[in-house]
Amino acid sequence: MTDSPDKDNLFSRPRPHLVDFAFDEQVARVFPDMIRRSVPGYDTVIAMLGVFASHYVTPHSRVYDLGCSQGAATLALRRHIHVPDVTLVGVDNSSAMIERCQHNIAADLSPSQVELRCEDIQDTPLENASLVALNFTLQFLPPEQRDAMIGKIARGLNAGGVLVLSEKICFDDAQQQNLFTELHHEFKRLNGYSDLEISQKRQAIENVLIPDTAEQHRQRLLRNGFSQVHCWFQCFSFASFLAVK
Ligand SMILES: C[S@@+](CC[C@H](N)C(=O)[O-])C[C@H]1O[C@@H](n2cnc3c(N)ncnc32)[C@H](O)[C@@H]1O
């Protein structure tokens, strides 16, 4: 049996010179398979974005999906917006991702208008927002730039608006960190990744994806303009927070 062209086997052969992970054409080609086999609970988080959209999106407002990749979250939001005159804005700085996102959005018939922007999310003007999704993306910003990003999102939200922030998290407790790392690797093995793939991907991404603890996220959200923070989902070291302005 031959592998499907979209199967992630980027790290299946020994790579003597591993370079830092990037969201380039190679990664974009296999990304939907990669994220589902690597992030426990990803499909649940995507599906629940629809619930948040249905509950929080208000008429005549804007909804942002920051770090939209190929539009999985954008589409989950779009399909559950039931109020008029809403514009969805999807932003990603990888042209390989945005091209595929454009294609996926065009194939969807939901009514809300979608605007796609290929740029750094830190440069995106945010205004009149009822909901912002930051789904597994803040973790790729340099840690010292994360407070400014969260503050900017809070300022762009209308009163009562929400941020859904999903992230890989780390733990202060070494035992919990080791246990959840092992369970995550077990999840990946059960999804068909070899030990070589797991270890090479880990090395490639460790300088690029820098996780915070759940408490660091909570404190950052509270000091930058949010009044309530709820961790509504966690599976091993993957968590999602609902932050209310
Ligand atoms: C793990 S993926 C996000 C997955 C996506 N939100 C989803 O739910 O399917 C991270 C994305 O963020 C993008 N990204 C990372 N840093 C960025 C930045 N500073 N500005 C814009 N996009 C960024 C990457 O290109 C990548 O597509």
Give the start-to-end residue ranges of the domains of the chain: 42-170+209-244
User: What is the reported pLDDT for 115?
Assistant: 98
User: What is the reported pLDDT for 79?
Assistant: 97
pLDDT exceeding 70 applies to what percent of the chain? 96
**Cα(139) to centroid of ligand 1, in Å?**
9
Residue 1 has pLDDT above 50, yes or no: no
- Residues with Cβ within 8 Å of 144's Cβ and at least 6 positions away in sequence, in order, are none
The region of weakest confidence among 28-37, 99-108, 213-222 is: 28-37
Instruction: Give yes or no for a contact between 125 and 155, defined as CB atoms under 8 angstroms apart.
Output: no
User: What is the reported pLDDT for 9?
Assistant: 79
Q: How confident is the model at residue 3 (pLDDT cuts 50, 70, 90)?
A: very low
Structure tokens at 12: 């299946």
- CA 204, chain centre distance (Å): 18
Which of ligand 1's atoms lies nearest the C-alpha of 134? 6
For ligand 1, atom 14: residue with the closest CA: 67
**Cα(149) to centroid of ligand 1, in Å?**
14
Residue 160 has pLDDT above 50, yes or no: yes
**Cα(164) to centroid of ligand 1, in Å?**
14
For ligand 1, atom 25: residue with the closest CA: 94
The region of weakest confidence among 10-14, 76-80, 149-153 is: 10-14
pLDDT digits (tens, 9 = 90+) for 5-64: 489 777 776 776 777 767 888 989 998 998 999 999 999 999 999 999 999 999 999 999
pLDDT digits (tens, 9 = 90+) for 48-75: 999 999 999 999 999 999 999 999 999 9
The residue with tokens 């922030």 is 165
Q: Pseudo-torsion of CA 180, 181, 187, 191, nearest 10°?
A: 160
- Residues with Cβ within 8 Å of 135's Cβ and at least 6 positions away in sequence, in order, are 45, 46, 49, 65, 67, 73, 164, 166, 240
Residue 111 has pLDDT above 60, yes or no: yes
Given this structure, which CATH class describes domain 42-170+209-244?
Answer: alpha beta
pTM for the whole thing?
0.95
Q: How confident is the model at residue 205 (pLDDT cuts 50, 70, 90)?
A: confident
C-beta of 236 in contact with ligand 1 (< 6 A)? no
User: What is the reported pLDDT for 222?
Assistant: 98
Q: Ligand 1 pocket test: pick from 69, 126, 136 the residue with the most ligand atoms within 8 Å of its Cβ.
A: 69
Strand pairing category for 129-135 and 228-235:
unpaired
C-beta of 137 in contact with ligand 1 (< 6 A)? yes
Q: How confident is the model at residue 2 (pLDDT cuts 50, 70, 90)?
A: very low
User: What is the reported pLDDT for 200?
Assistant: 75
Residue 123 has pLDDT above 70, yes or no: yes
**Cα(72) to centroid of ligand 1, in Å?**
11
